Each structure stands twice: as C-alpha cells, then as structure tokens.
C-alpha cells in the first residue's frame, strides 16, 4: 500500500511481569512514520524506546493496540509469520555489531541470504554481498575477519548485512554507542546516504541527542509514552562533517633502542 505510512501504531501497550511486579513498558503509543523517513527515537533507560523498537522489528508483540507495517496489521502475527516478514522487510543494526567472529566480512554479509528461502546460487550471493560492501566502502576488506577490522569497519559490515535482503525498513539500535566521535560521523554518513539515495526508511534508537540531530524528526519517549514528536530544525549533515574532519595522523613507530 504505497499511499499508507510504512509504520503506523495505535494504542500500543506492552507490559512485563517481573516476579510480583508488572512493568508497563509502553502505555498507549500512537504515531506514524512515512516511508523514506529518517526518524530518531530518544529517551532514557526504561523510557520504552527499546520495547518500541522490538515491536517495530517484529521481535515482540504488543499486549494491546495495533501495529500496521506497510498497511498490514501485524499485531497478532505468530512467531513464524513475524520471522518471515522480518526477514523480507526489515534490516537491523546493533550497537555490538553481532558479527560471526570466524567468518569473513563477505560471509557475514551473505548470512541472511541463506535464510530468506530464495536459494540463491553461491556466485549470486557473493556478488550481492560484495556490492553492498562496496557501498559502505569496504570492498577491499571483504576477506578480512572481524578481528582484523576496526570498530567502525565492523559496524559498516553490519550495515551491509542489514541491507542484503533489500529491506524497506532499517532499525539502528544505538549504532554509534561503541564508537568514537569521528567514526560515529562516518557511520551516520552511511545511514544518511542510504536513506537519501536508496529511499530506505531509517529508525534510529539512541540516547545521544547530538546523534539524533542527524535525523529529520525526533520522537522522545518517557515512562512508556511519547512526550514529544518534532522536526529537526537544523539537521546535521554527516557528509559535510566527515569531509571537514582533519586527516588521521599516521602512528609513530618506535625505532630501535
């Protein structure tokens, strides 16, 4: 349904039982996210933003309310139906990269293709994964294992992996949380470029308000509710910021004593 928002939720509620205590993670959330948007979801720990992301990503179901993904009510889908739809429409990028340590960057990117039911030939899988590594600037590192890559390079591999099934929605959960400021700018440049050039809808979960300024719109959660939903007045341009960064100075090698 091309005219409908990609994401629409109404009256979304989620509660967890922790022993004798009931934790109300979401207390009636109503919002829509248009296809092709770039939205940041912010909030302190316990605000409900991670629960919201898990429901958007079909990793969990609400206790009440409705969730429409691409015009389809997916609120009550069982685990198998959620897994099929998740694999087809959603890509994930996590703070901790979640790369398999004993496989190459290329093999990590290929991995979701083994579970999408399409049975692509090995050469086609390689070609698709390599093209995505090229998009994120890592074609020359395709055969490197994760421990041979920097944190920023590992996150770019994770982004390529998230894109390999050509998703409509990219969920990025604290993607810069383990990175320094320079590398964070580089990762946000990749996400902004993918949103701009490929039309992928990006939902960025972050507790860093400066990172949220790379989005077009910021939705703030507190105590399981949306407390603000605003357009970013002065959006940061990660490409311009990256180009303005000083060059990296080469490491000085100690000579013989």
> What's the CATH number where 165 sits?
3.40.50.300
> Which class for 27: exposed (0-12), middle (13-18), buried (19 or more C-beta within 10 A)?
middle
Answer yes or no: is 145 within a domain. Answer: yes
Tell me, what's the pLDDT at 113?
Answer: 87
Q: How far apart are CA 25 and CA 14, in angstroms?
A: 5
Contact 25, 16 (CB under 8 A): yes
User: What number is the average pLDDT over the span 78-86?
Assistant: 92
Q: How far apart are CA 117 and CA 175, in angstroms?
A: 28
Q: Which band of pLDDT confidence, cut at 50, 70 and 90, is reported for residue 250?
A: low
Within a domain: residue 9? Answer: no
Q: What is the DSSP letter of 166?
A: -
| pLDDT for the residue numbered 4 | 84
pLDDT at 228 (0 to 100) = 97
| Residue 62 belongs to a domain | no
pLDDT at 140: 95
Of 87-91, 95-99, 152-156, 246-250, where does mean pLDDT reach its minimum? 246-250
Residue 72 scores a pLDDT above 60: yes
The stretch 228-253 carries a mean pLDDT of 87
Q: Would you say residue 252 lies in a domain?
A: no
Is 5 domain-assigned?
no
Residue 15 resides in a domain: no
Contact indicator for 24, 36 with CB cutoff of 8 Å = no
- SS3 (DSSP) at 187: helix
- Domain assignment of residue 249, yes or no: no
Averaged pLDDT, 39-62: 95
Number of domains composing the chain? 1
Average pLDDT of the segment spanning 231-246: 95
The span from the CA of 87 to the CA of 23, in Å, is 29
Instruction: Report if residue 235 sits inside a domain.
Output: yes
Kindly indicate the confidence band of residue 252, based on its pLDDT and cuts at 50, 70 and 90.
low
- Give me the chain's average pLDDT, please: 92
pTM of the model: 0.91
Residue span of the structural domain in which 178 resides: 36-51+88-243
SS3 state of residue 86: helix
């Amino acid at each position: 349904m091309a005219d409908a928002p990609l994401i629409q939720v109404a009256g979304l509620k989620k509660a967890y039982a922790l022993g004798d205590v009931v934790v109300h993670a979401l207390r009636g959330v109503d919002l829509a996210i248009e296809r092709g948007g770039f939205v940041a979801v912010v909030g302190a720990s316990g605000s409900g933003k991670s629960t919201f992301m898990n429901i958007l990503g079909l990793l969990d179901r609400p206790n009440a309310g409705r969730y429409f993904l691409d015009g389809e009510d997916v609120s009550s889908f069982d685990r198998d139906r959620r897994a099929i739809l998740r694999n087809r429409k959603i890509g994930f990028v996590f703070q901790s990269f979640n790369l398999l340590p004993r496989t190459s960057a290329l093999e990590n990117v290929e991995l979701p293709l083994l579970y999408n039911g399409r049975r692509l030939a090995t050469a086609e899988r390689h070609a698709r994964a390599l093209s995505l590594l090229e998009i994120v600037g890592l074609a020359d590192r395709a055969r490197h294992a994760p421990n041979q890559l920097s944190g920023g390079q590992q996150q770019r591999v994770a982004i390529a992996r998230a894109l390999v099934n050509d998703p409509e929605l990219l969920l990025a959960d604290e993607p810069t949380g383990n990175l320094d400021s320079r590398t964070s700018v580089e990762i946000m440049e990749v996400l902004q470029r993918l949103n701009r050039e490929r039309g992928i809808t990006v939902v960025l979960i972050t507790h860093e308000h400066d990172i949220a300024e790379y989005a077009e719109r910021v939705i703030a959660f507190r105590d399981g509710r949306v407390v603000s939903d605003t357009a970013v007045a002065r959006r940061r341009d990660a490409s311009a910021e990256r180009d303005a960064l000083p060059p990296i100075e080469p490491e000085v090698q100690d000579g013989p004593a």
